[in-house]
Amino acid sequence: MTDTVSRRKIEVLVDAPLIPRVTAAAERAGVSGYTLLPALGGSGRGGRWSDDQVTGVESKVMFMTVASAEKAAALIDALAPVLESHGLLLINTAVEVVRGGKF
């Protein structure tokens, strides 16, 4: 069986205009790699929402990264002040990765 290494996966659902703030926080936390995925729609406490590029409604983006526990904790701490004020959803999951040196 291929060896794996424990890491943390951080996912943040964020309004597109806040992406520079999230990526800057990631860089300060030492997180060098991430992926941005478009979020087409969903439903939550505030009800249903969808990305509507015709009317100019802000689109949402899923920021995703895999990092060491230390870097993940630093990123979460850096984002803590804006989680509630900007309604961000942050998910912190334990994962096992192959080629752990990349993270």
Instruction: Tell me what pLDDT residue 97 has.
Output: 92
Q: What is the pTM of this model?
A: 0.82
Q: Domains in the chain, start-ordered, CATH in brackets?
A: 5-98 (3.30.70.120)
Residues contacting residue 103 through CB under 8 Å, at least 6 positions apart: 5, 7, 33, 66, 67, 68, 97
Per-residue pLDDT of the chain (103 residues; tens, 9 = 90+): 788 999 999 999 998 899 999 999 999 999 989 999 987 666 666 656 565 555 555 688 999 999 999 999 999 999 999 988 888 899 999 999 998 777 6
pLDDT of residue 78: 95
